[in-house]
Amino acid sequence: MTEQIFFFIFAALAVGSAIAVVSLRNPVHSVISLMVCFLQMAALFVLLRSPFIAVVQVFVYVGAVLVLFLFVIMMLDIHKASMERFVSGGQLGVIGLLVVLVIEMVLIVSKSKLAGISVASVTHLDGSVREIGEALFTKYILPFEVVSFILLVALLGAIVMGRKEVK
């Protein structure tokens, strides 16, 4: 019961701040709302007994990605961009598409057999970092290496694109 109350608090805050992200005019306010949203998601990961993912979420998203966003906003001139209207005209097609998406999602979640699961049947995972580390370095070693290579490529790409042209 307590868990359900906490789920409601976190879910309501997450949805509210997500709506704030897409509806606020000032990008700085959007970043702060996104930070609130990500922190609520980290709390939900703790409710799902995955503390490692929760910590990674806080470190990588709140600590790195959002600070990067703030840094870029600081370098740009946001005054012009923040004067934009939320829904410019002629977007009826987009809204229709969103309605179709909503109906589809509701149908999928309500008709799915898996959605009826309420408690984990067996609990052989203890959610420790040790399990994830062992799996990452034995069974999933190839994806792990590929991801590290992708990070290296992203680092080089960001440096090359951020540099001034040398003529």
Within 64-123, the residues that bind other proteins by CB under 8 A are 64-65, 68-69, 72-73, 75-78, 80-82, 84, 86-88, 91, 94, 97-98, 101-102, 105-106, 108-110, 112, 114-123
9, 137, 140, 145: which one binds other proteins (CB under 8 A): 140
Cα–Cα distance measured from residue 125 to residue 123, given in angstroms and rounded to the nearest whole number: 6
Q: Report if residue 150 touches other proteins, rule: CB under 8 A.
A: yes
Shortest Å, Cβ 116 to other proteins: 7
13, 27, 36, 62: which one binds other proteins (CB under 8 A): 27
89, 92, 124, 138: which one binds other proteins (CB under 8 A): 124
The tokens describing 15, both together, are 């949805």
Percentages (nearest 5) of helix, strand, coil residues in the chain: 75, 0, 25
Q: What's the alpha-carbon Rg for the chain, to the nearest Å?
A: 21
- Closer of 116 and 167 to other proteins (Cβ): 116
43, 145, 154, 166: which one binds other proteins (CB under 8 A): 154
9, 130, 135, 145: which one binds other proteins (CB under 8 A): 135
Cα–Cα distance measured from residue 151 to residue 138, given in angstroms and rounded to the nearest whole number: 20
Helix (H, G, I), strand (E, B) or coil at 156: helix
The helix-helix angle for 66-75 and 27-47 (nearest 10°) equals: 180
Give residues with Cβ within 8 angstroms of 144, minimum separation 6: 136, 137
Scan for tokens 């703790």, then name that residue: 46
Number of shown-chain residues binding other proteins (CB under 8 A): 89
Shortest Å, Cβ 107 to other proteins: 11
